Structure 1
Amino acid sequence: MYLPLYVEPRDVVEATTLMDTFGPKAGIEAAERAIKSRNICNHLHYCRWRQIERLIIMLSVQTTLGTIH
């Protein structure tokens, strides 16, 4: 699983908004938005929506990811 490499505060807000609006299907919504961006050749938005999709997955899991100090 690839975790977000770089996330801006607005991406976190977007991810939580999608999670509130679409519930468990928020990741699917982000993926569909990424596909739409790719289809119109907007690679910047495509990459951003893919990162948001990964962020939604990361925020949805019930376990700790990464190292614990």
Structure 2
Amino acid sequence: MDLPYIASRTALSDACRLIDVHGDDAAFEAASLAEGARDRGNVVGFCHWRQIERVIVTLASAEPVGTVH
């Protein structure tokens, strides 16, 4: 798995907020928000929520990601 890219503190806050509100369904909610943004033609919003989806999946994983020292 590639390391997720987190563009800003806001992106991480959005991921944490979705996890707090939606629990195990947070990644599905982020995907839904991305799809809605895409349907409205909002490319920036689509990319933001897809990034959030990947961050949520990484945060929810019990496996280490990247180099382990």
SS at match of 1:66: coil
Q: Residue 36 of structure 1 corresponds to which residue in structure 2?
A: 36
Q: Residue 24 of structure 2 corresponds to which residue in structure 1?
A: 24
Runs (4 or more) in structure 1 with deviation over 6 Å come to none
In structure 1, runs of 5+ residues without a counterpart are: none
* 1:51 correspondence with 2:51: yes
1:2-30: per-residue Cα shift (whole Å, max 9, x none)?
A: 54234211011110010010000000000
Mapped to 2, the partners of 1:2 and 1:39 lie a distance apart of 27
Q: CA RMSD in A?
A: 1.2
Deviation at 1:56, TM superposition (A): 0.2
Query: TM-score with structure 1 length normalisation?
Result: 0.91
Change (3 A) 1:21 1:6: closer
Change (3 A) 1:59 1:48: same
| Amino acid aligned to 1:31 | A
Mapped to 2, the partners of 1:46 and 1:20 lie a distance apart of 21
